[in-house]
């Protein structure tokens, strides 16, 4: 099966290609291949040349949240153009060519003020520009006439860089960042008053694989099965990898960000119950995922 993919060289896309390239053929629609998704005419020509591909996996996004905040309100900025205009172009062309669209979104569409976990039924209320552009992107997908699914994920992590593509510009994900700093003997300050839902990318790949085959409709939270504070995550990492947890210091958001550069959500706990109930996909608890990463790093 041939799949058009955007963002295939990124953190998630590279692992998807690595694990699924045996059964699926991925066609790269990206700047690396000379294609700008914000250019509708260029994108339309590329779609025409790939008429046999019936699915589009749309991962490409501007994800630097701090840089996005500096573009707040700027619809000519790269964040808006990639996240909103690019997605609108892809959704429109999927509708015109009869392609099924898998759109990857984010937990940042929520404001972080809810008590308890966010479900797919909760109304998104982004509080900064990155989340706002990603919500608008979701709306462009839903307003299009193509068949679509939206997979919201959060704080994705994996064991190591994927060998199928080079990731020279890729930043370490949160888990690898914490692990590498602790292993280097560096003191690390982690928040105790923020809740996040880290997602093991290998689990997310399995969700994408099922979606490629079954083509469900709607929004799903494709996230891990553990919501916890970054401080608690650091403790879990230290335990699994046998690193000195005393290097981890407790800090609050207000203490750390004395000068509030941008708003930060306190509760990004997402429920994956719909994913389990409707698609039968079980996502790992954080301890399970970390143990699998440890195994992968030793083989």
Q: What is the pLDDT along the chain (299 residues), one digit of tens a residue?
A: 999 999 999 999 999 999 999 999 999 998 888 899 999 999 999 999 999 999 999 999 999 999 999 999 999 999 999 999 999 999 999 999 999 999 999 999 999 999 999 999 999 999 999 999 999 999 999 999 999 999 999 999 999 988 765 555 557 899 999 999 999 999 999 999 999 999 999 999 999 999 999 999 999 999 999 999 999 999 999 999 999 999 999 999 988 787 667 899 999 999 999 999 999 999 999 999 999 999 999 98
Give the pLDDT confidence score for residue 142 in this predicted structure: 98
Cut 0.75: pTM above it: yes
Adjacent-strand bridge partners of 190 = 250
Longest dimension (CA), the chain: 57
Q: Which strand (E) or helix (H) includes residue 254?
A: helix 253-256
Is 222:272 a contact under the CB 8 Å cutoff? yes
Mention the CATH class of domain 2-160+199-224+271-283: alpha beta
Domains of the chain by residue range = 2-160+199-224+271-283
pLDDT of residue 62: 97
C-alpha 136/C-alpha 118 separation (Å) is 19
Query: What is the helix, strand, coil percentage profile of the chain, to 5?
Result: 45, 15, 40
CA distance 69 to 86: 19
Closest by CA to 61, choosing from 84, 77, 31, 32, is 84
Q: pLDDT value at position 260?
A: 66
Question: Residue 152 has which token pair?
Answer: 């919201």
Query: What is each CA distance from 209 to 24, 41, 187, in whole angstroms?
Result: 9, 30, 39
> CB of 175 within 8 A of CB of 157?
yes
Residue 22, token pair as written in the block: 């045996």
CA distances from 73 to 64, 81, 130, 259 (A): 15, 12, 10, 21
Q: Which one-letter DSSP state was computed for residue 32? A: G
């Amino acid at each position: 099966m041939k799949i058009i993919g955007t963002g295939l060289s990124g953190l998630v896309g590279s692992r998807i290609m690595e694990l699924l390239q045996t059964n699926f053929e991925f066609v790269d629609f990206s700047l690396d291949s000379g294609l700008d998704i914000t250019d509708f005419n260029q994108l339309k020509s590329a779609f025409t040349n790939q008429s046999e591909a019936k699915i589009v996996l749309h991962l490409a996004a501007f994800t630097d949240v701090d840089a996005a905040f500096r573009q707040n309100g700027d619809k000519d900025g790269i964040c808006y153009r990639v996240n909103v205009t690019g997605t609108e172009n892809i959704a429109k062309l999927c509708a015109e060519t009869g392609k099924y669209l898998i759109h990857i979104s984010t937990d940042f569409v929520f404001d972080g003020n809810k008590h308890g976990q966010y479900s797919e039924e909760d109304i998104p209320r982004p509080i900064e520009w990155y989340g706002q552009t990603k919500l608008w992107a979701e709306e462009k997908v839903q307003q299009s006439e193509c068949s679509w699914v939206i997979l919201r994920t959060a704080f994705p992590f994996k064991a190591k860089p994927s060998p199928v593509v080079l990731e020279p510009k890729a930043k370490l994900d949160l888990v690898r960042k914490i692990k590498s700093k602790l292993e280097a003997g560096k003191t690390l300050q982690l928040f105790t008053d923020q809740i996040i839902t880290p997602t093991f990318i290998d689990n997310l790949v399995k969700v994408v694989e099922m979606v490629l085959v079954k083509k469900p409709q709607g929004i799903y939270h494709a996230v891990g099965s553990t919501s916890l504070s970054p401080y608690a995550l650091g403790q879990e990492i230290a335990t699994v990898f046998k690193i000195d947890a005393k290097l981890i210091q407790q800090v609050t958001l207000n203490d750390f960000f004395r000068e509030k550069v941008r708003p930060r959500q306190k509760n990004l706990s997402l429920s994956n119950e719909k994913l389990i109930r409707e698609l039968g996909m079980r996502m790992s608890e954080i301890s399970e995922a970390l143990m699998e990463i440890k195994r992968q790093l030793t083989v």
